[in-house]
Structure 1
């Protein structure tokens, strides 16, 4: 089996971030046909509704990445320089066997039976040419985690200042505006990604006001993380952690110390954020996924 995902993704309690390129030119006819065989009728119908071929291809890729990654992580069938063996092959879950249910605002999760069997919580986000899949695998009996991720494409055209008043708290706006002007746009997208990740973790959509919670960067610290990215062994991702998450109730502010939030830059055009709780500490490993290897190795 060709290397697909680092064995570190198997560690219980570790947050694995899978970065998946979505250039539709990467999808061959054979891979598309394989992914279609993984999908139930309702998902095939959703994909077929896209008018543009490129959008249909991306729809297949999003679903293929998710199902393939879940099977790799759940089954332990992950190859590296040393062989990693899945002890109970009869318990393997194939990509076409995954079943999802959805919260009232559309947040996907595994059905209860598969959540209990695998201990997996996941969340996904995609923007432009990238998809991010976050997975945490927990031991049986551990409390259910709330997990949300967002990946955002940096946009020069966005007029950020009117948005500050509508969606950011006064403290967030003041802190952003106190930065040098050439840093305003970067901090805006940092905040936007963080807010999206927390909303997705809670599964409430825009029913959760963006002004009902805030992020504090005063204790933020940078951390360099070696990424398990094929062909880019020296690739370093800059993560920023130690960010405070607060609930806002009028003038009252309550710190959510049981949550971990972080953000980082995949490259100069894309940034990402993660919110997860309750956790005492959070260890992170990152991967870039090769679709061809994922599809071929998951059979």
Structure 2
């Protein structure tokens, strides 16, 4: 049985904690952070990437600042240096939450979305999703569409991120179940099994993890509120 661990992270850190987060980032991460126009977006990027380093460092038994990243053949971030190939990881953040997934023996993808008003959910679904998903979504009562849309979106994004080919796999090439049904693949263009799991990251959020293994055991964790203190 494959194993996958997912951490739920609160990104609402204090200015002093954010300073600690900044110290462990490498030059490319700092340059990327500096390109954000809104301070809140910059802070959440810095905090989420510091949290990723903290979790990886604990798993790999090293210092958070020592971790090196590289872009894989498909552009998906992967570990570089002495930790190259040690495990698969994935990061997603939205609003004040981040989701970080690690798997030593299978590809993993995670996605979290803050549920907010989206009046054109039906049009987005018809443009991007598979026909069977659209039919199920649009058959719902109008006041239920928005919440289910976000659950569906995270399921599909988690699969695409685990697959690792980005937009080269169109979202209408495969289909998944819609909430409140348990997440699973209904149609997939390739071979191999998958495990999908829904995660409770707090009110007003939808979140899914996808592991490219038919029998993965997914375990969820929450970083403590004072997690940045372990970066120093």
Classify the TM-score, shorter chain.
Answer: 0.7 to 0.9
Aligned pairs (5 A) from 1:12-31: 13-23=2-12, 26-29=13-16, 31=17
Indicate if the aligned counterparts of 1:19 and 1:132 stay in contact, CA closer than 8 A: yes
Aligned pairs (5 A) from 1:1-299: 13-23=2-12, 26-29=13-16, 31-75=17-61, 93-104=62-73, 106-111=75-80, 113-116=82-85, 119-136=86-103, 138=104, 144-216=105-177, 220=181, 240-241=182-183, 243-247=184-188, 258-290=193-225, 292=226, 294-299=227-232
Tell me which protein shows more strand as a share of its residues: 1
Indicate if the aligned counterparts of 2:4 and 2:211 stay in contact, CA closer than 8 A: no
CA distance in 1, matches of 2:149, 2:180: 18
CA distance in 1, matches of 2:58, 2:208: 23
CA distance in 2, matches of 1:198, 1:64: 24
* Larger CA Rg, structure 1 vs 2: 1
CA distance in 2, matches of 1:183, 1:60: 34
Cα-Cα RMSD: 2.6
Q: Offset at 1:105?
A: 5.2
CA distance in 1, matches of 2:21, 2:122: 42
Task: Provide the aligned length of Structure 1 versus Structure 2.
Answer: 232
Tell me which protein shows more helix as a share of its residues: 2
Structure 2 residues without counterparts, runs of 5 or longer: none
Structure 1 residues without counterparts, runs of 5 or longer: 1-11, 76-92, 139-143, 221-239, 249-253
Q: Offset at 1:215?
A: 0.8
> Could you report, residue by residue, the CA deviation over 1:47-78 in whole angstroms, capped at 9, with x for unpaired residues?
22223333332232122111111112223xxx
Scaled by the length of structure 2, the TM-score of the pair is 0.87
